[in-house]
Copies of this chain bind each other. A is one copy, B any other.
Amino acid sequence: MLTYTEENYLKALFKVTFGSGSNEAGTNELASLLVVKPATVNDMLKKLKEKELVDYEKYGKITLTIKGKKIALEIIRKHRLWETFLYQKLEFSWDEVHEVAEQLEHIQSGKLVDKLDKFLDYPEFDPHGDPIPTKKGEIKVQYKKTLSEISVGKSCKMVAVKDNSSPFLQYVVKVGLGINNEIKVLSIQEYDSMMLIEINGKQSTVSQKFAENIFVVIE
Chain A residues at the B interface, C-beta cutoff of 8 Å: 86, 89-92, 96, 99-100, 103-104, 107-109, 111-112, 115-116, 119
Q: How far is the CA of A111 from the CA of B87 in the complex (A)?
A: 12
CB-based contact B119/A109 at 8 Å: no
Main secondary structure of the interface of A (DSSP, over half): helix
Q: State how many copies of this chain the complex holds.
A: 2
Min distance, Cβ A217 to any Cβ of chain B, angstroms: 32
- Complex contacts, A86 vs chain B, CB 8 Å: 112, 115
* A119 and chain B: residue at smallest CB distance: B90
CB-based contact B104/A107 at 8 Å: yes
* A99 and chain B: residue at smallest CB distance: B109
CB-based contact A115/B103 at 8 Å: no
- Complex contacts, A104 vs chain B, CB 8 Å: 104, 107
Q: How far is the CA of A9 from the CA of B99 in the complex (A)?
A: 26
Partner of A100, one of B89, B91, B109: B109
Q: How far is the CA of A115 from the CA of B96 in the complex (A)?
A: 13
- Complex contacts, A92 vs chain B, CB 8 Å: 111, 115
Q: How far is the CA of A96 from the CA of B115 in the complex (A)?
A: 13
Partner of A109, one of B103, B107, B111, B116: B103
Min distance, Cβ A104 to any Cβ of chain B, angstroms: 6
